[in-house]
A and B are shown apart, each in its own frame.
Chain A
Amino acid sequence: MILYVLRRLTAGLVLAVLVTMITFLLLSTSLDDIAGSILGSSATPARIEQQKAQLGLDRPVLVQYLDWLSHAVRGDFGLSYFTSEPVRSAIAARLGVTLSVVLVALLLTAVVGVTLGVLAATRAGVVDRIAQGASLFGHLVPNLLIAIGLVWLLALRLHWLPATGYTPLAEDPARWAASITIPVLALTAAGAASLTSQVRGAMIDELRKDYVRTLRTRGIRLRSILLRHALRNAAGPALTVLSLEFVQMFGGALVIEQVFALPGFGSYAFNASLQGDIPIIMGITLFAVLLVVCVNLLVDLANGWLNPKARIR
Chain B
Amino acid sequence: MRIRPPHTSPRSLALVALTTTAVLLTTTACDGQAASSSSTTSTLSLAIMGTPNSFAPAQLTEGQQAYVWSSLYDTLLLVNDDGDLRPGAAQRWTYSDSGRTLTLTLRTGMKFSSGSPVTAAAVKATLNLIRTSGQNQTQLAAVDSIDAPDDRTVVLKLRNPDASLLHALAGAGGVIADPQTMRTSGSALNPVSSGPYTLDKGATVNGSVYVLKRRDDYWNKQAYPFPTVKIKVISDRAASVNALKAGEINAGSVEAQQLSSLKAAGFTTKLIEATSVATLLLFDRKGEVLKPLGDVRVRKAINMAFDREKMVRLFLKGSGRATEQLYHPLDEGYDPALDHTYPHDPAGAKKLLAEAGYPDGFSVHMPSLYFTKPFEPTISQSLADIGIKVTWDPAPAQQTISALATRKYPMALVIDGLDPVPVQTRDYFSPNGYRNVFASSDPRLTRLLLKANGETDASKAAEVYKQIDAFTVNNAWTAPVFYIGVHWVTKKGIVFRGDGSSTQNSLRQFGLAGQAGG
Binding site for B on A (CB under 8 A): 30, 32-34, 36-43, 47, 79, 82-85, 90, 93-94, 104, 107-108, 111-112, 114-115, 118-119, 121-124, 148, 151, 155-156, 159-167, 173-175, 177-179, 181, 184, 204, 207-208, 212-213, 222-223, 226-227, 231, 258-261, 263, 267-268, 271, 273-276
Contacts and interface: CB of A to CB of B under 8 A. Distances in A.
Closest 7 CB pairs of A and B: A276-B398, A84-B188, A263-B208, A178-B28, A163-B242, A42-B138, A40-B135
Contact of A275 (B14, B248, B398): B398
B50 to A, nearest CB: 8
A273 B248 CA distance: 29
Given A160-B29, A226-B8, A166 B208 contact: yes
B424 to A, nearest CB: 13
Contact of A119 (B10, B233, B396): B10
Contact of B9 (A40, A123, A155): A123
Interface residues of B, number: 72
B131 to A, nearest CB: 12
19 contacts: A33-B400, A40-B401, A42-B427, A83-B51, A83-B52, A83-B189, A108-B17, A115-B16, A119-B9, A124-B4, A159-B36, A163-B248, A174-B31, A178-B28, A226-B10, A258-B239, A259-B238, A263-B208, A276-B398
A123 B7 CA distance: 11
Nearest to B403: A33
Name the residue among B24, B52, B61 with the largest chain A CB count within 10 angstroms: B24
B61 A40 contact: yes
B205 A33 contact: no
A124 B2 contact: yes
A30 B397 CA distance: 10
A271 B398 CA distance: 10
A115 B17 CA distance: 8
B248 A165 contact: yes
Interface string B24-40: 11011111101110000
A27 B7 CA distance: 60
B239 A260 contact: yes
A85 B206 contact: yes
Contacts of B23: 177
B35 A155 contact: yes
Tell me whether chain A's interface is mostly helix, strand or loop, or mixed: helix
B17 A112 contact: yes
B155 interface: no
B53 A82 contact: yes
Nearest to B3: A122
Contacts of A93: 205-206
B56 interface: yes
B242 A155 contact: yes
Nearest to A79: B185
A122 B189 contact: no
B28 A151 contact: no
B95 interface: no
B484 interface: no
B20 A111 contact: yes
B404 interface: yes
A210 B248 CA distance: 59
Name the residue among A112, A163, A226, A263 with the largest chain B CB count within 10 angstroms: A163
B184 to A, nearest CB: 10
Given A37-B398, A37-B401, A263-B208, A162 B246 contact: yes
Given A123-B4, A124-B2, A207-B3, A163 B243 contact: yes
Contacts of A38: 59, 135
Given A37-B398, A83-B189, A208-B1, A159 B9 contact: no
Contacts of B208: 165-166, 261, 263
Contacts of B232: 164-165, 261
Contact of A36 (B27, B136, B189, B405): B405
B23 to A, nearest CB: 7
A267 B1 contact: no
B208 to A, nearest CB: 3
B241 to A, nearest CB: 9
A38 B396 CA distance: 16
Contacts of A123: 2, 4, 9
